Structure 1
Amino acid sequence: MDGTSGRQGRVVVLVVIGLWTLGMAALAVMAGVQHDYVYYLAQWQLVLAGADAWSTDNAYGPLHTSLAILLPLGTLAPKLFMVGAMLAANTALAVRLLAIRPQPDAWLHYAIVILANVAVISLAVIYGLNDGLVAALIVAAVLLRFSGALAWAGAMLGLAVLLKFYPLLLIPFFALDGRRFSFRLTIAALATVAIGLVAACAVFGDDWLAAVRFGAGREPKLLSVLAALASAPALVGGAGSLDWLIRHNAAFVLATAALCLAITWWRRIAWLDASVLALLAVLLVYKVGHPQFFLPWLFLVVALPLVGTISADRLARLCWPFVLFLGLFQWGYAFGTDQYHAIGGEVRLYAGFVAFPLGVATIASYFLFARAPGDAAEVSRAPIQWRG
């Protein structure tokens, strides 16, 4: 884009994003209380009553529980805060993309991953799940990381960890760029987590530890390959072997993250490429295969054109099949069936047999098409233009 047509194109894009944002805000209000937000309300009401907010099914961190302070403003106040944060972060990311990569291919990518993605609209906006707020904090970390504000990027990741625990595994990948490691980002992230947990202990005692125990003891769900294997345990040697895999799932998640970090170091992979690959790998291995866990991943994927390398652009395109799969799965869950119970129950049983190989193929394709270590440093053929 350049000249008059370029300016007109940017105006059109901004108008579309503005209208989409307003539409999503209205949709969040009209949708009201749905899905897990019902349980959020019960947890926050326990906080306001001075009871143990983790005495039920609260698998979340102290920052989630602290959102109870918004509840006196109205039943939907915490939901609108989370949705509003996600929409604001998305707008900031879109403006940055427009400034750096105004080419149509980048906007096709943005439309596929975010604007037209039923997973984003359903999970983050209609349901108002707290993974949308996690995504907002991670987007803030991405933009701050690109701006060189490493400590602030680390602080945003720390807040995401205090909301839900799984973003903890992203911290080393944000800190490691090629073979350069940012101690400033890491220390800021861990300090934020430590301060938050100390504050949580002062306010709630050690009640929040129940969330960790609850998360460790959960059964395999939906997109998890372990959930799919429950219908065919012979594939892993029988029910005993499957039970062992489920009980030791935390070890497999940590081992997967460690392997990804080692490969990132060896291949000198850029931090955003590595974060996309590692988070996908960890979520594929994690036994609780809820689709909302992929919301932060989607926003990392849509940010890939900001890197401006052949490697990142290629990874963005390679993620499209999995992105489309998530959208299709969530469309069926939210609109096409009764959440895959009486209608489409086979999807609930076997979705992991699609998600796992498709995700593995996405990751494997990245390395298959990479020509050599250092490929991530190659400048993209699409021109990178800073505007303003």
Structure 2
Amino acid sequence: MEINGEDLISKVREASENAYDWSQRNGKPLAMTASEKDLEVAQFFDEINIDQNIAKLIIRVGNFSPSLNFSFGEILRKGKTIRKAKSVVDKSEEFLRENYLIDDLLRRDIEIDYLKNLYHCFELISLLIKKSRRVQRRRSAYFLEYCALCWRLVNKNKILNFSESADYSAYYCLEHHPKKSDSNYHKARASLIAALKIIPALNREFNSRKESDALNPKFFYKATARFALKHKPSKTTKQTISTHNCKGPVDYTINIANSYYPATSTAINGIDLNKINSWKEWFYAVITALDPTGQDSLSWDDANDNWDDVPEDHTAYSPDFGVDVLLNILHRHEATFNIKALPRPRGPKPGEVKKNKQLRLRVIEIYEQQKAIKGKINGAEIARELKVSRQRISIILKELNLR
């Protein structure tokens, strides 16, 4: 019988989707072992059978007790942890490479490929468990899954799609992803660190952090929010907003933006309200206005799959995509704008740093020597002698009025 590792992956993906849906409906995360709070993940994979020869090999290598129906779910149970299950698969592959006879090379290669696919299935289970255990959105406010350096959602595409992705990040959006947008990430981070100086409490906290924890994204997340005044609506104010249509909540968010978030209001005031017929349309129109690339809209598509489950007259007050959520986005967008707008001095002032002062003194000394001996100066020679760039020497000479 021909064994098919790709078919195994396909079945595991399908069962993963079903397991996740069941987990979300019942409000319980998945885990390798069942508990009062967790569902056993293995139970969702008991119908996926493993090739008999591979099953026998895994039982032997893993020293597992024999089973009449050795399924993928059974391997998960016997492995107890994803790491151990993957280790058994690795050892099984080593066994095949070292113990097969020369006449069985073709069969060996087929079974090795199957084991590689089986290994990938454990990666999918790991992602499934992580996805099911994601921080739940607070029912009283917005959820904390925004980029540490701006207002966009973090990019969790890897978890959402049960697939490997270099775009995955627990703390940053794609725009500020350290591995995908290195330049944007460092610029935004440098701007925030420079801006900390105008808020003494934040600056002290940043400087007091251990070097290994100084660049903690959770601190950046908190710090970013401090650069814009946050509107705190009262319960009575909310109760006065009409819920019969989207006009009341839309007008409310526009008024708050105009009053508290001037830079952000400029971006959203260009939205054609005549084309807005629901809170969902308004929500996405704002997201698109703030991020015209469309990437943040895609992230919200992934994050919100229950729009249709909420009655239209309740959507504006949904904890997942309601007024509070949108106001938080506007607030963080304004804060991000304010951070970028702050002036950033480039380097220390002339003579401010001791090394700079010493360098200038040496430049003056060599300048005088050249003038005395040659009657003219040569910036390139000064640069070579002091082992600095010609551009820097040129700037220093101009600052000292020697050119």
TM-score w.r.t. structure 1 length? 0.23
Structure number with bigger Rg: 2
Which has the bigger relative contact order, CA under 8 A and spacing at least 6? 1
Structure in which a larger fraction of residues adopt helix:
1
